[in-house]
Amino acid sequence: MWLYEKKLQYPVRVSQCNPRLAKFLIEQYGGADGELAAALRYLNQRYSIPDKVVGLLTDIGTEEFAHLEMIATMVYKLTKDATPEQLKEAGLAPHYANHDKALFYHNAAGNPWTAEYIQAKGDPIADLYEDIAAEEKARATYQWIINLSDDPDLNDGLKFLREREIIHSQRFREAVEILKEEQGKKKFF
Amino acid sequence: MYSLVKYYHPYISPFDPCPPMKVKSYRTPPNLYIGFQPPSLPQFSPREALAHGTLWPIFYSPYPGKGKEEMTRE
Partners of residue B71 in chain A, C-beta under 8 Å: 147
Domain coverage including residue A163: 20-105+122-180
Q: Say how many domains are in chain B.
A: 1
ipTM for the whole complex: 0.78
Residue-by-residue DSSP string for A56-125: HHHHHHHHHHHHHHHHHHHHHHHHTT--HHHHHHTT-HHHHHHHTT---SB-TT-PBP-GGG----S-HH
Alpha carbons A120 and A114: distance in angstroms, whole number: 14
| pLDDT bucket at B71, cuts 50 / 70 / 90 | very low
The mean per-residue pLDDT over the stretch A82-105 comes to: 95
Average pLDDT over chain A, rounded to an integer: 95
Q: Does pLDDT of A163 surpass 60?
A: yes
Q: Does A8 reside within a domain?
A: no
User: For the segment B5-64, what is each residue's pLDDT rounded down to a tens digit?
Assistant: 999 999 999 998 889 999 999 999 999 999 999 999 999 999 999 999 999 999 999 998
Interface of A with B (CB under 8 A): 10, 139-140, 142-143, 146-150, 155, 159-164, 166-167, 169-170, 173-174, 177, 183
3-state SS, residue B68 = coil
Query: Which domain CATH number covers A26?
Result: 1.20.1260.10
Q: Does A7 reside within a domain?
A: no
Domain coverage including residue B41: 5-71
A/B interface, count of CB pairs below 8 Å: 60
Q: Does pLDDT of B74 surpass 60?
A: no
Q: Say how many domains are in chain A.
A: 1
